[in-house]
């Protein structure tokens, strides 16, 4: 589910300079998004004890923008169908592959199948990409805030930023319970600040994401201002949005994707 936090009066609304003149909602082709395609699992990589990345070959994939998601469908032999939304973790490229990172939800039908049964060579169906609203084309400063598997669409943005050598500012604040549960831990660089809520490496404080994490980033004020992307559970999305607004981020420049 994707949404804007709210609207500001017209006088405060962001008027993008020409260089950033990309509409907030990026069009998604209805035709592309409505066609189911077969995807073959080609690789499974463990990220944390509860999360793994599944690389899928989708030869006719039309491409996506960082932040977009897809619909995934599993069909059992008896015809029972389960479908769920998943964010695309990989940056756009022309490899004919995309990557998803799934948390193993206890008792979960779809994530349970991926984590306990799926093997390279198995096929699923996908359609997408979906939702232009949470997409970041790489054209404006991006302040990314995620928790748990909410970091997945944000990682696509980080990877895109690196792969294209973009110089537009990008920062990631990511919350995890413990260092062991921090998805993509090995990939983060200077753009990322991890926040740990249960246990942390020595010398790193333990606690919830707070004004002290968000306010210094807002204070950097890059040209054109930040576009904020928040992703995680309902509770986390509310908390992070409040921190952003309190630190001065305009509400109409906060994009939220809720996994809960
Ligand atoms: C736009 C969008 C993008 C998403 N992207 C991702 C992603 O990149 N990675 C990812 O792992 N998930 C993602 N999700 C969540 C995903 O769609 C599923 O909800 C999740 O995988 C659980 O599905 P399931 O079939 O395994 O569990 P279900 O069989 O649907 O649920 C089993 C039990 O778990 C509870 N439950 C369901 N979902 C969650 C959850 N997320 N956290 C805790 N408890 C839950 C249910 O209430 C139920 O009791 C996304 C959701 C949305 C809306």
pLDDT tens per residue across span 218-255: 999 999 999 999 999 999 999 999 999 999 999 999 99
Q: Residue 168, class by beta-carbon neighbours within 10 Å (0-12 exposed, 13-18 middle, 19+ buried)?
A: middle
Same domain, 126 and 143: no
Is residue 87 within 6 Å of ligand 1 at its C-beta? yes
Q: Is residue 25 part of a domain?
A: no
pLDDT digits 0-9 by tens, 10-40: 333 323 333 333 445 666 777 778 899 999 9
- Of 100, 130, 160, which residue constitutes the final position of a domain? 130
pLDDT digits 0-9 by tens, 150-170: 999 999 999 999 999 999 999
pTM confidence score: 0.91
Same domain, 121 and 157: no
Is the distance from CB of 20 to CB of 139 less than 8 angstroms?
yes
User: What residue numbers bound the domain in which 64 lies?
Assistant: 30-130
Q: Is residue 5 part of a domain?
A: no
Q: Is residue 14 part of a domain?
A: no
pLDDT of 4: 53
pLDDT of 32: 79
pLDDT band at 3 (very low <50, low <70, confident <90, very high): low
Specify the CATH number for the domain of residue 61: 2.40.30.10
Same domain, 146 and 254: yes
Same domain, 140 and 230: yes
Q: Is residue 21 part of a domain?
A: no
Q: Which two tokens stand for residue 186?
A: 């090995």
pLDDT of 260: 76
Distance of CA 92 to CAs 31, 198, 200, Å? Answer: 19, 34, 33
- Of 130, 165, 180, which residue constitutes the final position of a domain? 130
Specify the CATH number for the domain of residue 177: 3.40.50.80
Residue 191, classed as helix, strand or coil, is coil
Q: Is residue 52 part of a domain?
A: yes
User: Which is the closest atom of ligand 1 to the Cα of 112?
Assistant: 26
pLDDT of 17: 34
Same domain, 140 and 253: yes
Q: Is residue 8 part of a domain?
A: no
Same domain, 141 and 252: yes
Is residue 257 within 6 Å of ligand 1 at its C-beta? yes
pLDDT of 25: 63
pLDDT of 22: 41
Q: Nearest-CA neighbor of 64 among 99, 40, 111? A: 99
DSSP state at residue 19: G
Is residue 256 within 6 Å of ligand 1 at its C-beta? no
Cα–Cα distance, 11 to 17 (Å, whole number): 16
- Of 99, 130, 161, which residue constitutes the final position of a domain? 130
Same domain, 117 and 200: no
Domain count, the chain: 2
Same domain, 150 and 213: yes
Give Cα 60 to chain centroid, integer Å.
23
Is residue 114 within 6 Å of ligand 1 at its C-beta? no
DSSP state at residue 149: G
Cα–Cα distance, 151 to 188 (Å, whole number): 12
Distance of CA 19 to CAs 23, 28, 176, Å? Answer: 12, 22, 35
Query: Which residues on neighbouring strands pair with residue 175, listed in sequence order?
Result: 147, 195
Same domain, 65 and 112: yes
Same domain, 191 and 215: yes
Is residue 12 within 6 Å of ligand 1 at its C-beta? no
pLDDT digits 0-9 by tens, 100-153: 999 999 999 999 999 999 999 999 999 999 988 999 999 999 999 999 999 999
Q: Is residue 36 part of a domain?
A: yes
Same domain, 117 and 147: no
215 alpha carbon – ligand 1 mean position (Å): 31
pLDDT band at 195 (very low <50, low <70, confident <90, very high): very high
Cα 179-182-187 angle, rounded to 5 deg:
110
Q: Is residue 4 part of a domain?
A: no
Same domain, 176 and 161: yes
């Amino acid at each position: 589910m994707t949404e804007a936090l709210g609207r500001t009066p017209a006088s405060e609304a962001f008027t993008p300079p020409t260089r950033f003149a990309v509409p907030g909602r990026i069009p998604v082709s209805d035709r592309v998004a409505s066609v189911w395609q077969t995807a073959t699992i080609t690789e499974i990589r463990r990220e944390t004890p509860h999360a793994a990345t599944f690389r899928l070959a989708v030869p006719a994939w039309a491409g996506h923008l960082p932040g977009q998601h897809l619909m995934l469908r599993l069909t059992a032999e008896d015809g029972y169908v389960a479908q769920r939304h998943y964010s695309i973790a990989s940056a756009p490229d022309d490899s004919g592959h995309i990557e998803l990172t799934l948390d193993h939800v206890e008792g979960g039908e779809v994530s349970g199948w991926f984590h306990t049964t799926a093997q390279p060579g198995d096929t699923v169906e996908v359609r997408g990409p979906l939702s232009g609203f949470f997409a970041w084309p790489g054209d404006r400063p991006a302040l990314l805030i995620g928790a748990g598997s909410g970091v997945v669409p944000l990682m696509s943005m980080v990877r895109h930023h690196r792969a294209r050598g973009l110089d537009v500012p990008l920062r990631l604040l990511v919350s995890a319970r413990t260092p062991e549960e921090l998805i993509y831990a090995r990939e983060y660089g200077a753009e990322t600040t991890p926040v740990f809520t249960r246990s942390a490496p020595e010398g790193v404080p333990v606690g919830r994401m707070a004004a002290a994490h968000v306010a210094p980033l807002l204070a950097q004020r890059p040209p054109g201002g930040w576009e904020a992307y928040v992703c995680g559970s309902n509770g986390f999305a509310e908390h992070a949005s409040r921190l952003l607004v309190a630190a001065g981020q305009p509400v109409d420049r906060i994009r939220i994707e809720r996994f809960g």
